[in-house]
Structure 1
Amino acid sequence: MQVHITAADRRAGVMRSGVKPTANPSVMICMDPPRYGFTGLPSAEHIKAFRVLVSVFAVADTRRRETYCKGACGHAWHNLSAATEQP
């Protein structure tokens, strides 16, 4: 909820996810207001729901980084150092 997903983010995220726009998770996230309750979907839909949600949140987070957080961001998760391999 903190990423403040817009209707445009939802549509772009569904398109990016590779899940059909007519699939239950796609329809649910694109409703106005979005319908959350993905855990109530049949287990066969859970992977689709995960793909849709991750894609939508990625789109929304990118938008927020480029607008609200651009330049002087204090969010620690926007300033993570590159992962280093541990033996």
Structure 2
Amino acid sequence: MRQALSEAQVKPTATPLVLLRAHGVAEALRRIQKLPPPEYPNAFRALLSLFSVADAHRRRTACRTGCTHDWHHLPPLR
């Protein structure tokens, strides 16, 4: 999770990042849902980074010999 939080295009002191560092994913998601609307862009960027790093890790480990995840078999963008 550290890699994802460091790569997020958000200030390190942004509330969503602080919540993720302090509480872990499950509790942080509950708390992020209660943030005021001005925090939504920071939350989106933080979570997008988290999911991107997690998916890259899964591709390198569990899915490296093949998988059935549709999103791992999308055609390239034009």
TM-score, normalization: structure 1? 0.75
- The RMSD of aligned alpha carbons is 1.5
Matches within 5 A, 1:25-64: 25-34=16-25, 35-36=28-29, 37-64=31-58
TM-score, normalization: structure 2? 0.82
Relative to 1, partners in 2 of residues 1:39 and 1:33: Cα closer, same or farther, differing over 3 Å? closer
| Cα distance, 1:39 vs structure 2 | 2.5
2:3 alignment partner in structure 1 = 12
Describe the superposition over 1:24-76 as per-residue Cα deviations: whole angstroms up to 9, x where unpaired.
10011223433213221111111000000001100000000000100221211
1:21 alignment partner in structure 2 = 12
Instruction: Give the share of equivalent positions with the same residue, in percent.
Output: 39
Structure 1: which 5+ residue stretches go unaligned? 1-9
Instruction: Give, as a single letter, the amino acid of the residue that structure 2 aligns with 1:55.
Output: S
**Number of matched pairs:** 75
- When you count helix as a share of all residues, which structure comes out higher? 2
